[in-house]
C-alpha cells in the first residue's frame, strides 16, 4: 500500500489540507503528516523546526502562537496557486480527514527532548477529545520517549517506531510493550533487518521511496507499506483524470528535506 508523505509532498505543499485532498484525489487512503506545538500549546501540522522553508515567515515554529501561524502563507513557496494555504491545526486536520475519508499516520515530530512531554500531552488530549476513529490512525515517531508516553496516555491507538541509522538501536525498547509497525529509512533496510522486524510481528513500512523501480525488491523483503512524496510514480495513471497530474514538480525538486 502507498502512503502519501507529508500529504503528497511532490504534488501539493507539504502538511497542508490541500495536500491531503490531493492524496485523496490520487486514490490514496493514508497520508503521513507531522505534528508539533505552537507557542501557545496547540498541535499543528508542520515538519521543520523553523517556518523558513515552507512559509513566508521566519523563525522557530514553536515561537509562533497559532493565530500568528494562521497568518503565514504556507503554500506559495510551492506554487503561487496555493498562496492562501495555511498551517493546519491537528484538530482541524482530523475533522478534514473524516470528511475526506482519509486515514492518518501522525508523526510526533520532536527536535529537542524537552518537547516530548508537552507535545505528547497536547496531542493525546486532542485525540482523546476527537471522534476520529482509532482504526484510521497510526501514531509514529523517531522518539521512543514520545511513543512510550503516548502509548501510556492513549493505549487504544496503534504505534509505529520510525527508524534510521541514528536510532535503530532503540527498537529493543519496545520488546515488552509492543508496536504496530516499524517505519524504516529505505536506504538502510536490509533483508536481515526486515526479517528481524517481521519476526517480531510488526508491520514494516519504508520512507521516503520515490523510485518506483525499487519497490519490488522491498516488497520481496516483506515491506507492507511504502511512504512516498509522489504516488503517481507507483499508481497507474488514469489518462482522463487531470486531478492527479504533477503541477510543478520540477520547480520544487530539491526542496524536500
Ligand atoms: O514518517 C516517516 C518520515 O516522515 C520521517 O522523516 O523527516 O520526513 O518526517 P521526515
Ligand atoms: Mg514525517
Domain span holding position 99:
2-236
| 1, containing H or E segment | none
CATH of the domain at 213: 3.20.20.190
- Domain membership of residue 244 (yes or no) is no
- Domain membership of residue 213 (yes or no) is yes
| 197, containing H or E segment | helix 191-199
Minimum-distance ligand 1 atom for the alpha carbon of 107: 1
Strand partners for 159: 139
Angle at which helices 90-100 and 116-129 cross, to 10°: 40
CA angle 212, 45, 215 (to 5 degrees): 10
- Domain membership of residue 181 (yes or no) is yes
- Domain membership of residue 255 (yes or no) is no
Per residue in 141-191, pLDDT tens? 999 999 999 999 999 999 999 999 999 999 999 999 999 999 999 999 999
Residues 133/137/143/149 CA torsion (nearest 10 deg): 20
Is residue 194 lining ligand 1, measured as CB closer than 6 Å? Answer: no
From the list 161, 201, 166, 199, the residue with the least C-alpha distance to 182 is 161
Span from the CA of 239 to the centroid of ligand 1 (angstroms): 31
Per residue in 56-67, pLDDT tens? 999 999 999 999
Is residue 2 lining ligand 1, measured as CB closer than 6 Å? Answer: no
Is residue 64 lining ligand 1, measured as CB closer than 6 Å? Answer: no
- Domain membership of residue 22 (yes or no) is yes
Instruction: Give the number of domains in the chain.
Output: 1
- Domain membership of residue 249 (yes or no) is no
Q: Whose CA is nearest to atom 3 of ligand 1?
A: 207
- Domain membership of residue 168 (yes or no) is yes
Minimum-distance ligand 1 atom for the alpha carbon of 207: 2
Per residue in 227-244, pLDDT tens? 999 999 996 655 555 556
Phi-psi region of 101 (alpha: psi -120 to 50; beta: other; left: phi over 0): left
- Domain membership of residue 164 (yes or no) is yes
Amino acid at each position: 500500500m502507498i502512503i502519501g508523505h507529508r500529504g503528497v509532498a511532490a504534488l501539493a505543499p507539504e502538511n497542508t489540507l490541500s495536500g491531503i485532498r490531493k492524496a485523496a484525489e490520487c486514490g490514496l487512503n493514508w497520508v503521513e503528516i507531522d505534528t508539533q506545538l505552537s507557542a501557545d500549546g496547540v498541535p499543528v501540522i508542520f515538519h521543520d523546526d523553523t517556518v523558513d522553508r515552507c512559509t513566508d515567515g521566519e523563525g522557530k515554529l514553536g515561537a509562533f502562537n497559532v493565530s500568528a501561524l494562521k497568518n503565514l502563507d504556507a503554500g506559495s513557496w510551492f506554487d503561487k496557486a496555493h498562496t492562501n494555504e495555511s498551517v493546519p491545526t491537528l484538530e482541524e486536520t482530523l475533522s478534514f480527514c473524516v470528511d475526506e475519508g482519509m486515514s492518518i499516520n501522525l508523526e510526533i515530530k520532536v527536535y529537542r527532548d524537552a518537547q516530548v512531554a508537552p507535545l505528547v500531552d497536547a496531542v493525546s488530549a486532542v485525540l482523546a477529545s476527537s471522534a476520529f476513529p482509532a482504526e484510521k490512525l497510526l501514531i509514529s515517531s523517531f522518539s521512543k520517549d514520545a511513543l512510550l508516553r503516548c502509548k501510556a496516555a492513549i493505549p487504544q491507538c496503534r504505534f509505529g517506531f520510525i527508524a534510521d541509522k541514528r536510532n535503530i538501536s532503540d527498537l529493543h525498547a519496545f520488546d515488552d510493550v509492543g508496536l504496530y509497525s516499524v517505519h524504516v529509512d529505505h536506504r538502510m533496510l536490509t533483508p536481515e533487518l526486515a526479517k528481524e522486524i517481521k519476526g517480531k510481528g510488526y508491520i514494516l513500512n519504508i520512507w521516503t521511496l520515490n523510485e518506483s523501480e525499487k519497490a519490488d525488491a522491498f516488497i520481496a523483503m516483506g515491506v507492507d507499506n511504502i511512504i512516498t512524496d509522489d504516488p503517481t510514480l507507483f499508481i497507474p495513471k488514469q489518462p482522463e483524470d487531470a486531478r492527479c497530474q504533477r503541477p510543478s514538480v520540477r520547480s520544487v525538486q530539491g526542496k524536500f528535506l
